[in-house]
Chain A
Amino acid sequence: MKHGFEKGGQARWLPLDNAAKIYPPAMTEGWNALFRVSVTLDEPVDRQILKRALLRTVARFPNFSMRLRRGFFWYYLDKLSGAPEIQDDVQNPCARMMFRENGGFAFRVRVYGRRIAVEIFHVITDGAGGLSFLKTLTAEYISIKYGVSVPREGDILDCSVQASEEELADGFLKHAGPKAVPEAPGRAYRLYGTPEKDFLHVTTGILDAEDISSRAKALGVTVTEYLTTVLLFAAADWKKAKGSVLQARRPVKVTVPVNLRKLFGCRTLRNFANYANVGFDTRYGDYEFEEAVRIVHHQLKLETDPKRLAAKVASNVGIEKNVFMRLVPLVIKDPIMSLAYRIEGDRKSTTCLSNLGLVKLPPEMEAHVERFDFMLGSLIENPVASAAIGYGGKLYINFTRTIREQFLERAFFTRLVRMGIHVKIESNGGE
């Protein structure tokens, strides 16, 4: 029996997983690493039913019913009972989460009309884990509200059984490769703008998923690769327009999170993702779209080679397992890790594109679900981030930014329009 688990497999406390370890020290007075997944139903959300569904779902996802605490050497997750209060949604999503005001929980559930949104602090899980939670919550909600039995398959979990040790295990420790090969990617072109105080601008582009998919297929690439290329072009447009002398030599790069569950056959509910940094150097000249998409395709293939990822993970795990790192008290480790994250965190990329892929639901749920959304909260250094999710024949791309300039998303969506793709835009209406 592993530490933190009592007889019967119930988790009393959990050490943070390898990827989560950096997020608590990196927190600041006005920022923590959040992301948000939401689902829009066909009817207004009934809060009483949602509360019941939430209690059942949280019991199935023990990593969600935990409070972040400080140990002497590391932060850890400590068991909590119940579920957080359901909140009204707000205009500025993913604002700094105050755990005390949220009953200690590191995630919050927000409702607006027909939409249920879950905002999650990254110490609990990653995007795929968050989506699994939201889908299970929605399945519970629908089965309580409409009295239908929703089949539990894939990442929609059965709430009548308990989480297994495997589901709560740290996938990084389990699947780290035999050799640790650290990677030191060079710096990337960075976006600067007029900072927006305490407000996250959200711009949503709605595209026809089939159209994008067929265009990507025609080029022999995936939708993620296709969208990443468009985003790289948008970043290159920004660079050209701003014409920075200091950053002239830096290539434009996009960070693409890679879900490691499929690659390593892991079922963990916690963080288990790594990142690929792809991009091109605009000093080589102006690329044609077909040229750039090939570059992105091959770079992503190289970066997501399972052996390479395992070595990268092993390197990260090596830092955590380092005797010096383990024996230094948290009081000292905290500021060092915070500084390291600020320096190294997201400076290796110009922006980020996280694609959760196409959401598939059983017909019992499909009848009541209209839309899914996925967005990233502000990143610590990069002012613009994007996230995509597909459902019901549509692809929803959310740009979130903490600066006033909407250049990047404009360049991204107008390029799509020029390529003959229909784009519908919505926003959270920040001035």
Chain B
Amino acid sequence: MSYCVNCGVELGTSERYCPLCGVEVNNPAAPFDENAEKPFPSGAEQIRHRTVRVLAARVLSLLLAIPLLSVLLVDLVQDGRLTWSLIPAASIALLFMVAVFPCLFKKPKVWLFMLFGTLEAALFLFVLHTILGGNWLWLFALPITLLTGAATIGCCLITTAKRPSLPLKMIVVLLIVMVYVIVLQMLIEIYLAGRIRLDWSLYIAVACGILSIVVLIVGRLYKKSEAFKKKMFY
């Protein structure tokens, strides 16, 4: 008969550690017996979660495969080679990656989906560029796609991270938005006018800056709540 020195309860002979506090049973007169009859067998039932996600991924793949094969086949039969069909094919591939890829994950990994989404969008644009030609991809579409992807991934990573406090997270997100809008307008201006002139992006950036300062002050005051309470006593 053993007792938990921490909780004062008697422990069943099959208990090596106290189930209430985790302290090891240490009774020289009745040491823990591995073969003592346990209240429950040792094998736990595995719960088979229905694989709806995998099924959804399969059904979606099948549904998307039909139009994909159809357009490729029609184009091949008509022209003897692949021309216009590459545009719908690339669109379907993009849809496939955006819709099916997340189905394969048990837990949503948002940053990963965003990374893949950005790369897929870039690839899609590249395919369009190859078919259509022009200089819009390298100077305009691709930088904006990558910039938007980087900004959203950055926001996502910082908001889901455990470490920084909430005010700090908010400040980082606001800073990311600041940089994003400024670079976005720079890219647009360079492509359209060939020079850099900032106007609307500055309004947003200034607003973000002011908000960051407010968040910083409130966060600090919250931390030093004693002083805050004293100052705000009424």
Across the interface, which residues of B come within 8 angstroms of A29, CB to CB?
49-50, 52
Q: A30-B47, A92-B45, A427-B19 are in contact. Are A417 and B8 (CB under 8 A)?
A: yes
B19 touches A91 (CB 8 A): no
Across the interface, which residues of B come within 8 angstroms of A406, CB to CB?
19-21
Complex: chain B residue closest to A426, CB-CB = B12
Complex: chain B residue closest to A425, CB-CB = B9
B48 interfacial by beta-carbon distance below 8 Å = yes
Q: Which of B34-42, B141-149, B158-166, B195-203 contacts A (4 or more CB under 8 A)?
A: B34-42
Which residues of A from 402 to 431 have beta carbons under 8 Å from B? 406, 409-410, 413-414, 417-418, 422-430
Complex: chain B residue closest to A417, CB-CB = B8
Quick one: which of A98, A423, A428 contacts B39, CB cutoff 8 A? Answer: A428
A93 touches B40 (CB 8 A): yes
Complex: chain B residue closest to A411, CB-CB = B20
Q: Which of A3-11, A199-207, A263-271 contacts B (4 or more CB under 8 A)?
A: A199-207
Q: Which of B12, B20, B37 has the most CB of A within 10 A?
A: B20
B18 interfacial by beta-carbon distance below 8 Å = yes
Cα-based distance from A426 to B39 in the complex (angstroms): 7
- Least CB distance, A7 to chain B, in whole angstroms: 40
Complex: chain A residue closest to B7, CB-CB = A414
Q: Which of B37, B38, B42, B45 has the most CB of A within 10 A?
A: B45
A414 touches B44 (CB 8 A): no
B12 touches A424 (CB 8 A): yes
Which residues of B from 21 to 77 have beta carbons under 8 Å from A? 21, 37-50, 52
- Least CB distance, A334 to chain B, in whole angstroms: 16
Cα-based distance from A426 to B14 in the complex (angstroms): 8
Across the interface, which residues of A come within 8 angstroms of B41, CB to CB?
88-91, 112
Across the interface, which residues of A come within 8 angstroms of B15, CB to CB?
425-427, 429
- Least CB distance, B23 to chain A, in whole angstroms: 11
A414 touches B20 (CB 8 A): yes
Across the interface, which residues of A come within 8 angstroms of B9, CB to CB?
205, 413-414, 417, 423-425
Say whether chain B's binding surface is mostly helix, strand, loop, or mixed: loop
Across the interface, which residues of B come within 8 angstroms of A203, CB to CB?
19-20
Quick one: which of A90, A199, A409, A429 contacts B20, CB cutoff 8 A? Answer: A409
A71 interfacial by beta-carbon distance below 8 Å = no
- Least CB distance, B20 to chain A, in whole angstroms: 4
Across the interface, which residues of B come within 8 angstroms of A204, CB to CB?
39
B11 interfacial by beta-carbon distance below 8 Å = yes
A79 interfacial by beta-carbon distance below 8 Å = no
Q: A30-B49, A413-B20, A427-B15 are in contact. Are A422 and B10 (CB under 8 A)?
A: yes
Across the interface, which residues of A come within 8 angstroms of B7, CB to CB?
410, 413-414, 417, 425
- The interface size bin for chain A is 35 or more
Complex: chain B residue closest to A112, CB-CB = B41
Across the interface, which residues of B come within 8 angstroms of A92, CB to CB?
44-45
B10 touches A424 (CB 8 A): yes
- Least CB distance, B5 to chain A, in whole angstroms: 12
A166 interfacial by beta-carbon distance below 8 Å = no
A175-218 vs B: 1/0 string, CB under 8 Å?
00000000000000000000000110011110000000000000
Q: Which of A90, A96, A429 has the most CB of B within 10 A?
A: A429
Across the interface, which residues of B come within 8 angstroms of A26, CB to CB?
none
B42 touches A423 (CB 8 A): no
Quick one: which of B20, B42, B47, B48 contacts A91, CB cutoff 8 A? Answer: B42
- Least CB distance, A424 to chain B, in whole angstroms: 4
A393 interfacial by beta-carbon distance below 8 Å = no
A357 interfacial by beta-carbon distance below 8 Å = no
Q: A89-B40, A112-B41, A414-B20 are in contact. Are A425 and B47 (CB under 8 A)?
A: no
- Least CB distance, A245 to chain B, in whole angstroms: 11
Complex: chain B residue closest to A94, CB-CB = B45
Cα-based distance from A95 to B44 in the complex (angstroms): 9
Across the interface, which residues of B come within 8 angstroms of A90, CB to CB?
40-41, 43-45
B49 touches A429 (CB 8 A): no
Cα-based distance from A198 to B21 in the complex (angstroms): 22
B14 touches A429 (CB 8 A): yes
Across the interface, which residues of B come within 8 angstroms of A96, CB to CB?
47
Cα-based distance from A427 to B38 in the complex (angstroms): 9
Cα-based distance from A427 to B37 in the complex (angstroms): 12
- Least CB distance, A126 to chain B, in whole angstroms: 24
Cα-based distance from A422 to B11 in the complex (angstroms): 11
A113 interfacial by beta-carbon distance below 8 Å = yes
Complex: chain B residue closest to A203, CB-CB = B19
Quick one: which of A89, A95, A198, A425 contacts B18, CB cutoff 8 A? Answer: A425
Across the interface, which residues of B come within 8 angstroms of A423, CB to CB?
8-10
A414 touches B42 (CB 8 A): no
Cα-based distance from A199 to B45 in the complex (angstroms): 9
B85-99 vs A: 1/0 string, CB under 8 Å?
000000000000000
Across the interface, which residues of B come within 8 angstroms of A198, CB to CB?
44, 46-47
Across the interface, which residues of B come within 8 angstroms of A427, CB to CB?
12, 15, 19, 39
Across the interface, which residues of A come within 8 angstroms of B52, CB to CB?
29
Cα-based distance from A96 to B47 in the complex (angstroms): 7
Chain B residues within 8 Å of A, Cβ to Cβ: 4, 7-12, 14-15, 18-21, 37-50, 52
28 interchain pairs (CB within 8 A)?
Answer: A29-B49, A88-B43, A90-B40, A90-B43, A91-B40, A91-B44, A93-B40, A95-B45, A198-B46, A198-B47, A202-B39, A202-B40, A204-B39, A406-B19, A406-B21, A414-B8, A414-B9, A414-B20, A417-B7, A418-B8, A422-B10, A423-B10, A424-B9, A425-B15, A427-B39, A429-B15, A429-B19, A429-B40
Q: A89-B40, A198-B46, A425-B15 are in contact. List 11 more A-B contacts (CB 8 A).
A: A88-B41, A91-B45, A113-B37, A198-B47, A417-B8, A424-B10, A426-B14, A427-B39, A429-B14, A429-B15, A430-B44
Ranked nearest first, the 7 interchain pairs of A and B with the lowest CB-CB distance are A427-B19, A426-B12, A410-B20, A428-B40, A90-B45, A417-B8, A91-B44
